[in-house]
Amino acid sequence: METWQKREHLCISVWNKEPVTFHFRTQLCDDERTVIDDSKVVGTPMEIVIGNMFKMDIWETLLSSLRIGEVAEFWCDIIHTGIYPLVSKSMRRIAEGKDPVDWQIHTCGMANMFAYHSLGYDDLDELMKEPKPLYFVLELLKVQQPSEYNRETWAMNDEERLKVVPVLHGQGNKLYKQGNYDEATQKYKEAIICIKNVQTKEKAWEVPWLKLEKMANTITLNYCQCLMRTEEYYEAIEHTTDIINQHPGDMKAFFLRGKAHAEVWNEAEARQDFSRVLDLDPGMKKVVKRELAVLNMRMEEKNQEDKNKYRGMF
């Protein structure tokens, strides 16, 4: 076993700002060497950019001492491991296919922990209450040139996230037109996450926050159109309702919600939303009239189906 201190003189800076891919295993310093996290078990290696202020800065030091393909074990004292529970939570959420930072929507990570008294994982809660030395087993898989690397948006800084939003939006629109609704959904979702991550750092309802809110709502409505195509009507209702609650003058949100309500036979709610659309934009009269005609037809069909079903029961 080698501690990181023994290898420190080998650390070099030639990887600065270059992405590295690696597997990691984190273990307690107990008799059982209890495993906390293991990226190989999850099946997803970790990616970070050296020199990009990753929270576990000690990992940058350790990885910079490795050769590609090398596996090494390091013992780290609590001065380097105190932040690990927060980092681990984000990495677990990534492995679960979730946004690594949406649990921090209203506060920073530390404040969030004190507000809710839990990170959502018992072992991490215990480690947060009582920081301990840890073993890290790292296996360096790949070092890439920045030009070769298609970075995950969660690893970007705020400026990079805002630059990639229109790219993701455009990709989503193209996929939508091609009928690739599931892939379009993912592009829109990724763009929304980028915006929300930046927006949480702005003061609510001030100009920078409102600009980001407008961007997010536009893409969210595109996202809801994909949900409609994939028959995820209740989720579409949920997202459009969120927009309407914050921005009751958003005609497009009312229109999409009305269509979603119509698809699940919520007749009263659909008519109410379409009526609100006309209040906000009388120019939508022809479109709304067409949607109401479709709604009437759907309700007639449903009523007839119900009659036939109940007739057979008695």
Could you tell me the domains of the chain?
A: 4-148 (3.10.50.40), 156-294 (1.25.40.10)
Residue 53 burial (CB count, 10 A): 9
Dig out the tokens for 222 from the structure: 């595109």
Average pLDDT over residues 286-303: 91
Tokens 């009751």 -> residue: 248
Q: How far is CA 257 from CA 166, 192, 242, in A?
A: 25, 19, 11
Asked whether 123 and 67 are in contact (CB, 8 A), the reply is no
Whole-angstrom distance, CA of residue 160 vs CA of residue 17 = 14
Average pLDDT score, the chain: 83
Percent of the chain whose pLDDT exceeds 70: 81
- The pTM score is 0.56
Higher pLDDT, 146 or 40: 40
Residue 220 banded pLDDT, cuts 50, 70, 90: very high
Higher pLDDT, 57 or 238: 238
Whole-angstrom distance, CA of residue 91 vs CA of residue 113 = 16
Strand partners, 76: 134
Tokens 């990079």 -> residue: 160
Model confidence over 85-134: pLDDT tens digits?
988 988 887 777 665 544 343 333 333 433 345 788 899 999 988 999 99
Q: Which residues contact 159 (CB under 8 A, 6 or more apart)?
A: none
Model confidence over 262-283: pLDDT tens digits?
999 999 999 999 999 999 999 9
